Amino acid sequence: MEQEGDAFSWGRLYPCLADRFAEGGLAKGHYFHQGLLVATRIFQAQPTRHVDVGSRIDGFVAHVASFREIEVVDIRPMSSHIHNIHYLQMDLMEPLGEEFLSCCDSLSCLHALEHFGLGRYGDPIRPKGYEIGLQNLIQMVKPGGTMYLSVPIGPQRIEFNAHRVFSVRFLWEHLKESFSLKHFSYVDDRGDLHEDQPFEDKDIDTNFGCHYGCGIWELQKKDAA
């Protein structure tokens, strides 16, 4: 009589010793919270055209592609072809073509701007790459449109060649002329989400208590003067 397991030959040794002590999943961290939060907001808003710049394909972009088309711009190539994802390789530190000016009513750039100009992803070294990239992002959004932007927040510094960390005050000074703030959320140093927080000076100036957190801005483009 065949014993249980006889139908399976032994493969390589693959010991998994810690899984029985782990939780069922990890619902923490920058990428988990920003991807779920912003994808939910886009689902609720139902924009006409949503463009993403540099966000995580196997997280946020996949969330959005599960319910709508999304156009993705990135400096890196992508060989995969996925339903609802339209990919364009492009350097956002170069001048925009006319076809990209006020091209969308919804745009996201999640955990990407901090890398612009550091060479980590094959981009040229440009110390002010984040400024060039941010101005291009601003120009892509139609007046009245929405931009979802996230970056690491904390005491302002550069950790070459990984990323920049922005102070909340510094980045807001670069945003407030072009956008009004709809919502501000952040992920703290423990990886927990604080959604729709008051945007007050006392918290702005302390970076909401973060050393390496993630600020998530939902912004509305102002009408041209």
Distance CA(164)–CA(155), nearest Å, equals 10
Residue 13 lies in a domain: no
Residue 210 lies in a domain: yes
Residue 26 lies in a domain: no
Q: Indicate the range of 16-20, 102-106, 199-203 predicted with least confidence.
A: 16-20
Residue 21 lies in a domain: no
The pLDDT of 72-83, averaged and rounded, is 95
Q: What percent of the chain has pLDDT over 90?
A: 91
Structural domain range at position 67 = 31-221
Distance CA(76)–CA(211), nearest Å, equals 29
- 105 contact partners, CB below 8 Å, separation of at least 6: 47, 48, 49, 141, 142, 144, 145, 146
Residue 214 lies in a domain: yes
What pLDDT was estimated at residue 25? 87
Distance CA(192)–CA(184), nearest Å, equals 14
The pLDDT of 26-31, averaged and rounded, is 94
Residue 75 lies in a domain: yes
Query: What is the average pLDDT value for the chain, to the nearest integer?
Result: 95
3-state SS class at 160:
coil
Distance CA(117)–CA(6), nearest Å, equals 57
Query: Which 3-state string (H, E, C) describes 70-123?
Result: EEEEECCCCCCCCCCEEEEECCCCCCCCHHHCCCEEEEEEECCHHHCCCCCCCC
Looking at per-residue pLDDT, the higher value among 83 and 4 belongs to 83
What would the pLDDT profile of 42-64 be if each residue is shown by its tens digit?
A: 999 999 999 999 999 999 999 99
Into how many domains does the chain fold?
1
CATH number assigned to the domain comprising residue 110: 3.40.50.150
Binning pLDDT at 50, 70 and 90, where does residue 106 land?
very high
3-state SS class at 30:
helix
Q: Single out the residue of 115, 102, 191, 114 nearest to residue 147, CA to CA.
A: 102
The pLDDT of 194-208, averaged and rounded, is 98
Residue 161 lies in a domain: yes
Structural tokens at position 129: 């790459």
The pLDDT of 187-201, averaged and rounded, is 98
Residue 4 lies in a domain: no
What would the pLDDT profile of 114-173 be if each residue is shown by its tens digit?
A: 999 999 999 999 999 999 999 999 999 999 999 999 999 999 999 999 999 999 999 999
